[in-house]
Amino acid sequence: MGKTSRTKNLITEYQDHGLVFCQADGKPIDPRNFLRSFDRIIEQAGLPPIRFHDARHTFATLMLELGESPKTVQTMLGHSRVAITLAIYSHVSLELEKKAAAKLNTAFTGRR
């Protein structure tokens, strides 16, 4: 079977189970296989090894660095309370500290 017909087959056989990560046909992926793929991608990207769950912490911190509201980040992560997002999942990065210092400088001097 050629690549094109295989792709068409997967599209017609795709079953939506509402999953974030799944096999090409939409069925659940074995967690061990997913983690093996994740580890391989991290290695190929030349990044240091991380746990998949650490990506949630990175996501929260990056979103806050980008100026997204904590409430939005909470909703995107599926936390019941914004306090969980802020206390556990977000981390103060050098970039956030620089932005805070720049704001304070502007408040004191009136210039950036």
From 31, 78, 35, 81, select the one nearest 59 (Cα to Cα). Answer: 78
From 78, 33, 40, 46, select the one nearest 60 (Cα to Cα). Answer: 78
Q: What is the mean pLDDT of the chain?
A: 87
Reported confidence tier of residue 3, pLDDT bands at 50, 70, 90 = low
Question: Whole-model pTM?
Answer: 0.63
Task: Read off the pLDDT of each residue in 63-89 and give the average, rounded to a whole number.
Answer: 93
- pLDDT(2) > 60: no
Task: Please tell me the predicted confidence (pLDDT) of residue 13.
Answer: 83
